[in-house]
């Protein structure tokens, strides 16, 4: 977890989610993003895909999360092929804990789990076209821009679809 150790003071730690984290995760989601969900949405992802739902803790407080779903889709990378893909549904870090490598470390753990535990060949996500910080972060993690979904968000903004190929075990 080298990136996360960029944080000064208390050392952050990463772990997979527990059901008792979900209210904190929901709160972070509401603070950080306009796309919010019901409790049962978070609960379903935690129950169905627990190994790719990670939280970051600092001093015992949950300060960030990434949650994913596994889907069979038309590949975002190899067109016209059906693939098992990890969909990064949401990722966020509380403002006061940003720029310490936490999102990088969370997403790396999720990608590893998607490949190793769920057999995903690729991962993808939607990001607002104006979200330069997140787009830059995803590029650093190897994601490439694949397509734009016009007026994807409720306020009419376009979504950029970004995808990355996941390493396969021989
Ligand atoms: C996007 C988000 C999750 C990043 O979390 P984070 O823990 O700060 O990210 P990290 O510290 O791991 O990554 C930092 C990287 O983000 C990018 N970044 C961070 N701040 C940036 C800025 N002001 N301008 C441009 N890029 C920036 C850089 O690529 C940076 O890498 P570097 O440190 O090597 O330069 C966080 O900003 C957030 O919660 N934003 C609101 C929710 C959101 O937009 N989620 C994504 C929805 S698709």
**In tens digits, what is the pLDDT along the chain, a chain of 170 residues?**
554 454 456 899 999 999 999 999 999 999 999 999 999 999 999 999 999 999 999 999 999 999 999 999 999 999 899 999 999 999 999 999 999 999 999 999 999 999 999 999 999 999 999 999 999 999 999 999 999 999 999 999 999 999 999 998 75
Q: Give the pLDDT score at 168.
A: 84
Spell out the residues 6+ positions from residue 109 whose beta carbon is closer than 8 angstroms to its own. 14, 54, 66
Tell me the CATH number at 88.
Answer: 3.40.630.30
* Tokens at 40, concatenated: 């049962």
Measured from the Cα of 125, ligand 1's closest atom is 48
Q: List the residue whose alpha carbon is closest to atom 16 of ligand 1.
A: 137
> Which of 133, 139, 157, 164 has most ligand 1 atoms within 8 Å of CB, for mutation?
133
Q: What is the pTM of this model?
A: 0.94
Give the position of tokens 């509401």.
30
Flag whether 38 is in a domain: yes
* Tokens at 109, concatenated: 């753990």
Beta-carbon neighbour count of residue 54 at 10 Å?
24
Task: State the Cα angle at 164 between 153 and 82, rounded to 5°.
Answer: 85
The SS3 of residue 90 is: strand
Flag whether 170 is in a domain: no
Range of the domain at 13: 4-165
The SS3 of residue 64 is: strand
Torsion from C-alpha of 113, 101, 1, 24, nearest 10 degrees: -60
Number of domains forming the structure of the chain:
1
């Amino acid at each position: 977890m080298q990136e996360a150790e960029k944080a000064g003071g208390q050392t952050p730690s990463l772990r997979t989610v527990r059901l008792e984290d979900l209210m904190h995760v929901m709160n972070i989601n509401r603070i950080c993003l306009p796309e919010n969900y019901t409790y049962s949405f978070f609960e379903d992802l935690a129950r169905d895909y627990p190994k790719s739902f990670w939280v970051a803790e600092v001093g015992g407080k949950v300060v960030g999360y990434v949650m994913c779903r596994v889907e069979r889709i038309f590949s975002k990378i190899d067109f016209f092929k059906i693939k098992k893909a990890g969909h990064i549904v949401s990722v966020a870090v509380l403002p006061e804990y940003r720029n310490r490598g936490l999102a990088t470390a969370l997403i790396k753990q999720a990608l590893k789990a998607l490949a190793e535990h769920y057999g995903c060949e690729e991962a993808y996500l939607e990001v607002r076209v104006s979200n330069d910080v997140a787009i830059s972060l995803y590029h650093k993690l190897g994601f490439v821009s694949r397509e734009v979904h016009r007026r994807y968000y409720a306020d009419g903004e376009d979504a950029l679809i970004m995808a990355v190929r996941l390493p396969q075990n021989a």
